Structure 1
Amino acid sequence: MASFWLLLWEFSLTIAVVISILVTIFLVTLPSAYSHFHPHEIKETDFQDKDKEDATQSGYAYFQAHKEKDRTLKAQASVQVVVLGDIGRSPRMQYHALSIASHGGKVDLIGYVDPSVDINPDVKAHRLINIIPIPVFPFGTKNRLLFLLLAPFKVAWQFQALYHALGYRTKACRWMLIQNPPSIPTLLVARIICFFRNTQLVVDWHNFGYSILALRLGPRHPLVRLSEWYEGFFARGATAHLAVTNAMCRVLKEKWSIDALPLHDRPAKHLRPLTIAQRIEFLKTRPELQGQPFDLERRSWRLIVSSTSWTPDEDFSILLDAVVQYAAERKQKRNLPRIWAVITGKGPLQSYYLAKVQQLVSEGKLDETIISTAWLTTDDYARLLGSADLGVSLHTSSSGVDLPMKVVDMFGTGLPVAGWSKFKAWPELVKEGENGRGFGSAEGLCQVLQDLFGSDDRELKRLGNGALREQERRWDDEWMPVAGKLFRLH
């Protein structure tokens, strides 16, 4: 028995020494803590000749107006904007970065950079924004068992990649703004770095990480429950919280005693209504319409657009079934126009649904209907929305209290919306019968399409006018009184 305790003591002592050495290395090698007396500096040499030609977009105009006698700009607000996901698919975090930079803050935008996904050109052009790419975990799977087996390795990979980017590849900042979800391991890494660097952490709640995990594993799975505890425990210590809806603010307060500030998504400046001539000019460039007997002047057809990530929380089969039902109704009701449906986005279920589309076409269930997919640049996506007749949102919300930003984008171009409305936060975004219509089934969506396209267009125009009113308040109008005030920007 004595030998057992001696062995246990030696083992414990060894572990303690190893931990002590690792902590010492950590403290010595981690860059120095943030000092309020040493703000980030922007110099004249940070701008190239082309930046000076487009002074507003690059931030050079702000630099010229606010530089000090030594020809440097002291950025009092420095922010690490963190998304453990693809930056190009995270428009809200890009808007955060642009708003901070346009008001004189220095930004390190940290996340995955997919070469096939365009980052907002304004973000890339602004010299007060530094994009820091982090490496993607090289293995992925749709298999549930393999997903569970790979999960620890993926988390370890993400931990070291994110830790290295936040602690060593970027300077210490006054603020860190992180997107949640994903929560694991983002919240833990952020808390560690913020603690040792005296950085103030702000969590921007887009949804709940555990509710998304529950879509894959089920709500009662032990990992889901562990994720829920982890999310609440590590988020509570943040300096401040932002949330996309009032409903989410209430849930955060009730669930984890977190006081969050509501910051609703609003359309960015590049999303604008188009004139009829601009619509026709853009649609003439689309390859899907080549050879089709569409009259672009008279619009004897209707264009619907849906942006999806092709994931389980956006069930594309609802739109597909609705369009099939609409095509069947059109054979009986000739007043119904043809439909061209464009689905934008990339994701894991895309190939599965495209195969279903081909099967339906071969069975003759999509006669005189075009369903096409597209991956567009930021500008072309804005033009597509501005050229459409109706936007469709299939977002079903894993938590019931988040909202799809794609609807905000649609409103930015004056496009009315039909969307899945069977969750709590939906009325915060779409006002039924004023700027859009809700549905709760494929049959419901089919009826909406018939109501809006089968009449004299009066209701469709009325919804369009409501969408135009929504686009009057832009992102910066919403952002400055909330986040701008938090970061002490002017």
Structure 2
Amino acid sequence: MLPSRYVKHSPASKESVSVQVLVLGDIGRSPRMQYHALSVARHGGRADIIGYHESAPHPDLLTNPRIKIYPLASPPSVLKSRSIPFIISGPLKVLWQIWTLIRVLGYQTPPARWLLVQNPPSIPTLAIALLISVLRNTHLVIDWHNYGWTILAGTKGRNHPFVEISKAYECALGQAAPTASVTVTHAMKRQLEREPYNIKSPILVLHDRPAAIFQPLKSLADRRDFLEKLPETRDFASNIMAGQTKLIVSSTSWTPDEDFSLLLQALVTYAKEETACPVVAIITGKGPQKALYEERIRDLQRTGKLPNIRILTAWLTMEDYATLLSCADLGICLHMSSSGVDLPMKVVDMFGSGLPVAAYSGYESFDELVKEGVNGCGFETADELAIILKRLFSEGGLGELRHLREGAKKESDLRWDEEWDRILGRVLGVID
């Protein structure tokens, strides 16, 4: 709970509580920020969500009368071209974002009591959010998912001048901007309280939890019906139901912080085993490296390195994705935390669907989510992942896989609504 000096509630009804939810990214691919808006509206408040409207958002976001989407104009395609050096396209893109953010936040949206902004991206989001909060007398809350400078360092190197500038900017705005901060892990909270961040305003920990749409499988009949309906699994439905083929699912943004080659190498190694159970791997998501990896997958299949392995890419509706997770045998997460203290939302969704996971584990906050041998398994190399697949998909591993699924189902009992109400609901004034 925030100290009383930070929260100035009037005796007005909950309907007067207004929250702007800002994400400088695709709203449809920002589940946590969508859930914030839905939680505000569920308690009678008004939520305006601002971001790029590129893919379909959560269906309830479109039908709830208390939620309004304010789309940001995407940067011109010329600024996304790789033919223009980053030193030119980067600043021009930031100027475009500054203009669109000021226009939407300052003029198109009505004033709000709260402004909840996702970080990263940090530039220019944090500076504009601070400016708007001062001009409109709005309480600013930063929702820290990760650090912008560590993501940039992944592509530019930690010693790049832009990375140093980004780090200094993020630390300064983190100290100066918020009424409060929200983090996704306790490890991140501890880091923000120390140098170089040294944030003195209240920091709340709100772990990601699955939304209601992610539920464990209700019956085997439901599983069969869905697998027979989905184009990607239709041809394999009978074998999957019989346990003769294993279905694995991974969701990725196809970016450098997820080394998808780990899964490909693991499947090549796994396929060399003569007794290996056939596998269908469905990879969902969009991103810049998708075409590159699709070509690598085709090469592996053409050269016969993936016998009895089918790797399919798909872009699914939220409903179909949630159902696919509940129908799968194992979820794969390749998220590599650039900061070491964030957590992948995709694992949260998998647990919500009762799906055990094999996840990359080489970062500090990993065990805040995945419990080794309880609801999933950790790996850091392709060989370690291959060993996990061999063990779980062998006849002797069926008991372990069932045990992990039970652990995932127990994890699914922890839901977003309860967590949000306990941490943020009273702070924002939508809960008494």
- Pick the TM interval, shorter chain: over 0.9
Equivalent positions of 1:378-397 (< 5 A) are: 378-397=318-337
Secondary structure of residue in 2 paired with 1:242: strand
Compare 140-149 and 233-242 and name the one that shifted more. Answer: 140-149
Which residue of structure 1 lines up, in the alignment, with residue 193 of structure 2? 253
Which residue of structure 1 lines up, in the alignment, with residue 5 of structure 2? none
- Pairing partner for 1:228 from 167, 171, 182: 167
Per-residue CA shift, 1:305-355, capped at 9, x if unaligned?
0000000000110001101111112x2xx2x31000000000000000000
Q: Take 1:318 and 1:277, find their aligned partners in 2: how far apart are those partners?
A: 34
Equivalent positions of 1:280-429 (< 5 A) are: 280-292=224-236, 294-329=238-273, 331=274, 334=275, 336-429=276-369
- Pairing partner for 1:265 from 196, 201, 208: 208
| Pair 1:358–1:78, CA change in 2 (3 A) | same
Aligned residues: percent identity?
Answer: 49
Q: Take 2:309 and 2:9, find their aligned partners in 1: how far apart are those partners?
A: 61
* Preserved contact between residue 268 and residue 306 of structure 2 (Cα < 8 Å): yes
Which residue of structure 1 lines up, in the alignment, with residue 42 of structure 2? 102
Q: Take 1:128 and 1:292, find their aligned partners in 2: how far apart are those partners?
A: 42
Is 2:420 aligned against 1:479? yes
Amino acid at match of 1:307: S
Q: Take 1:38 and 1:188, find their aligned partners in 2: how far apart are those partners?
A: 31
Equivalent positions of 1:15-414 (< 5 A) are: 75-114=15-54, 117-139=55-77, 140-141=79-80, 143=82, 146-237=85-176, 238-255=178-195, 256-258=197-199, 259-274=202-217, 275-292=219-236, 294-329=238-273, 331=274, 334=275, 336-414=276-354
Q: Take 1:292 and 1:190, find their aligned partners in 2: how far apart are those partners?
A: 49
Amino acid at match of 1:180: N
Per-residue CA shift, 1:365-410, capped at 9, x if unaligned?
0111110001000100001001000000000110000000000000
Could you tell me the TM-score, scaled by structure 2's length? 0.94
Amino acid at match of 1:411: F
Per-residue CA shift, 1:211-256, capped at 9, x if unaligned?
0011111001111011011111112221000000000001100132
* RCO comparison, higher one (Cα < 8 Å, 6+): 2
* Preserved contact between residue 15 and residue 44 of structure 2 (Cα < 8 Å): yes
Q: Take 2:308 and 2:232, find their aligned partners in 1: how far apart are those partners?
A: 13
Larger Rg: 1
Per-residue CA shift, 1:73-97, capped at 9, x if unaligned?
7623111100000000000000000
* Preserved contact between residue 141 and residue 147 of structure 1 (Cα < 8 Å): no
Question: Per-residue deviation at 1:483?
Answer: 0.9
Q: Take 1:131 and 1:448, find their aligned partners in 2: how far apart are those partners?
A: 43
| Pair 1:279–1:142, CA change in 2 (3 A) | farther
Could you tell me the TM-score, scaled by structure 1's length? 0.83
* Preserved contact between residue 385 and residue 410 of structure 1 (Cα < 8 Å): yes
Compare 142-151 and 265-274 and name the one that shifted more. Answer: 142-151
Q: Gaps (5+ residues) in structure 1?
A: 1-34, 40-72
Per-residue CA shift, 1:429-459, capped at 9, x if unaligned?
0000000000010000000001111133000
* Preserved contact between residue 439 and residue 445 of structure 1 (Cα < 8 Å): yes
Question: Per-residue deviation at 1:147?
Answer: 2.1
C-alpha RMSD of matched pairs (Å): 1.7
* Preserved contact between residue 227 and residue 237 of structure 2 (Cα < 8 Å): no
Q: Take 2:156 and 2:74, find their aligned partners in 1: how far apart are those partners?
A: 23
* Preserved contact between residue 355 and residue 409 of structure 2 (Cα < 8 Å): yes
| Pair 1:166–1:339, CA change in 2 (3 A) | same
Q: Take 1:241 and 1:102, find their aligned partners in 2: how far apart are those partners?
A: 22
| Pair 1:103–1:291, CA change in 2 (3 A) | closer
Question: Per-residue deviation at 1:260?
Answer: 1.5
Q: Take 2:14 and 2:36, find their aligned partners in 1: how far apart are those partners?
A: 20
| Pair 1:142–1:317, CA change in 2 (3 A) | farther
Secondary structure of residue in 2 paired with 1:284: helix
Q: Take 1:211 and 1:455, find their aligned partners in 2: how far apart are those partners?
A: 42
Compare 318-327 and 295-304 and name the one that shifted more. Answer: 295-304
Secondary structure of residue in 2 paired with 1:108: strand
* Preserved contact between residue 36 and residue 174 of structure 1 (Cα < 8 Å): no
Amino acid at match of 1:306: S
Amino acid at match of 1:486: V
Secondary structure of residue in 1 paired with 2:358: strand
Secondary structure of residue in 2 paired with 1:224: helix
Q: Gaps (5+ residues) in structure 2?
A: 1-7
Per-residue CA shift, 1:174-204, capped at 9, x if unaligned?
1000000000000010111111111000000
Secondary structure of residue in 2 paired with 1:287: coil
| Pair 1:366–1:390, CA change in 2 (3 A) | same
Question: Per-residue deviation at 1:37?
Answer: 7.4
Q: Take 2:384 and 2:401, find their aligned partners in 1: how far apart are those partners?
A: 17
Amino acid at match of 1:101: A
Number of positions where the alignment pairs a residue of Structure 1 with one of Structure 2: 417
Amino acid at match of 2:159: R
Q: Take 1:147 and 1:215, find their aligned partners in 2: how far apart are those partners?
A: 15
